[in-house]
Amino acid sequence: MTAQLYIDGSWTDAAQGRTLETLNPATGEVITEYAAGSPADVDRAVAAARKAFDEGPWGPDSSPRERATILFRAAEIMRRDKEKLAEMETRDNGKLYSDALEDISESAFMFEYYAGWTTKVAGSIPPVGPEAMSLIIKEPVGVAVLITPWNYPVLMASQKIAPALAAGCTAILKPASPTPLTSLELARILEEAGLPAGVFNVLNGTGSSIGDALVTHPGVDKISFTGSDEVGKRITKLAAESMKRVTMELGGKSPNLVFSDATLDEAYEGSAVGIFYNQGEVCSAGSRVLVERSIYDEALEAMSRYAAGLKLGDGMDPETTMGPLVTAEHRDRVQKYIEIGKESGARLVFEGDMPTTPDLLGGYFVPPTIFADVDNQMTIAQEEIFGPVMAVIPFADVDEAISIANDSIFGLAASVWTNDITKALKVSKALRAGIVWINDTQPAPSEAMWGGYKQSGVGRELGPWGLESFLETKHIYVNLEG
């Protein structure tokens, strides 16, 4: 069975009949074929989304209560189907089943969270004097193209779909080519929840074949993109031609600062989790671990011990604690960085074992890898590797730690491990990053905020900020004279 596209409320083959295969990264085996769209499908999807926005049932005149009802129902269906969704996510992406379950649960919460917001989007009436009244109102931006990466397929899609639909936008989701399946499930869920035809469309297909058509389409008002900085920059340039609104959630090279006055066992374990969780395929992974010199050796030992305890395997196996990377191509890219690290003179202090069971020999595994004595100017400290590769850098004091941490083109996230609250807050303020965790790593509650400084992005997602990015603000001026 070929997984089809979802356009205008119908399941359909691609206009040119093109298909691609999606593989299980743990084994390299084909899971299924899926329809891969072309620019003709982009036209179909945009026309459907445009009509549903301009003529209803969605758009600025739709009922906030009705939007809420559908989003709440979608959350309920997601929770009902969580095991099926999580298994599909694990087989398509490689991540641990337990992590996939958490992603689904947080995604369902996002639908509930933004369902609640639909009835609370309000404007304001600033006082402009006795002769006039200024009404500031909020309206949906229009047709939104949502482009997502493969590392958190359901979560990243939900992070965009829920606020877009809550705001009254209609949407076309373009999932990443290696992980097309759960996005189609989201369409099925929204359909069952009662979402009218055309409001939400899923267009699988490669970025190289449909990306430009989506991004430059005159019927599209907004691009919400999560992915690499390289593709993000290309889209931003193209979108600027017609001044489309853009939100960019891009890559990172996030620093993780460990001070000697931290609760050290927690700091070492947290630092390891920060880079090895989800195989290091995390935009905010703490890939640069900065450690105060006085605890440098013991930190290397403790983090290596943690890495040695990780068991590579199929994400569906409950014994597995680290899955495969998403594709053979991505595995090769990460391995190339490990070679670059070795050649650049960084000290390889830990390299884990590959799985040996015969059914996993075709899988795309990269074992946890730790480089010590990394100079922050080295390639492995400056470029996003997006795999389980930790670069450890020593520092002497707070000022040096901040200076190394900020010496990056990226500014997505950072962790600070210390029990000195003054130091924690001082360092957090000085770090040029969109999110700073104190004595923790990676939590991203949907009610709060997500987004990057510098080349890690433009705009913000999650919380009210995520909703705002799908809204326009209009000023209606009423003359009260006479």
**CA proximity to 181, closest of 368, 421, 3, 378:** 3
* Closest distance of CB 6 from ligand NAP, Å: 16
Count of residues of this chain found to bind ligand NAP when the rule CB under 6 A is applied: 31
Q: Of these, 227, 270, 341, 463, which contacts ligand NAP (CB under 6 A)?
A: 227
Which residues between 238 and 277 bind ligand NAP (CB under 6 A)? 249-252
Asked about 283 being catalytic, the answer comes back as yes
CA torsion 425→430→431→433, rounded to 10°? 90
Which residues between 131 and 150 bind ligand NAP (CB under 6 A)? 147-150
Which residues between 80 and 119 bind ligand NAP (CB under 6 A)? none
Which CB sits closer to ligand NAP, 114 or 386?
386
Which CB sits closer to ligand NAP, 72 or 465?
465
Q: Of these, 151, 279, 446, 455, which contacts ligand NAP (CB under 6 A)?
A: 151
Contact status: 6 vs ligand NAP (CB under 6 A): no
Tell me the C-alpha distance between 22 and 5, whole Å: 14
260's tokens: 């000697």
Tell me the C-alpha distance between 246 and 236, whole Å: 7
Count of C-beta atoms within a 10 Å radius of residue 240: 10
Which residues between 154 and 183 bind ligand NAP (CB under 6 A)? 156, 174-177
Which of 169, 283, 292, 384 is catalytic? The answer is 283
In the block, tokens 């997984």 appear at 3
Contact status: 334 vs ligand NAP (CB under 6 A): no
Which CB sits closer to ligand NAP, 82 or 174?
174
Which CB sits closer to ligand NAP, 148 or 415?
148
Q: Of these, 231, 258, 322, 346, which contacts ligand NAP (CB under 6 A)?
A: 231
Which residues between 30 and 59 bind ligand NAP (CB under 6 A)? none
Residue 440 three-state SS = coil
Which residues between 410 and 429 bind ligand NAP (CB under 6 A)? 412
438's tokens: 């104190």
Tell me the C-alpha distance between 176 and 155, whole Å: 13
Q: Of these, 48, 235, 427, 436, which contacts ligand NAP (CB under 6 A)?
A: 235
* Closest distance of CB 280 from ligand NAP, Å: 11
Tell me the C-alpha distance between 264 and 419, whole Å: 10
Which of 185, 249, 281, 461 is catalytic? The answer is 249
Tell me the C-alpha distance between 372 and 300, whole Å: 8
Contact status: 401 vs ligand NAP (CB under 6 A): no
Asked about 29 being catalytic, the answer comes back as no
Which residues between 191 and 220 bind ligand NAP (CB under 6 A)? 206-208, 211, 215
User: 437 pairs with which residues across the strands?
Assistant: 415
Residue 350 three-state SS = strand
Query: DSSP secondary structure string, 62-102?
Result: S-HHHHHHHHHHHHHHHHHTHHHHHHHHHHHH---HHHHHH
Contact status: 384 vs ligand NAP (CB under 6 A): yes
Tell me the C-alpha distance between 192 and 186, whole Å: 10
**CA proximity to 308, closest of 351, 270, 275:** 351
User: Which amino acid belongs to residue 464?
Assistant: P
Site of interaction with ligand NAP (CB under 6 A): 147-151, 156, 174-177, 206-208, 211, 215, 226-228, 231, 234-235, 249-252, 283, 384, 386, 412, 452, 457
Q: Which residues form the catalytic set? A: 249, 283
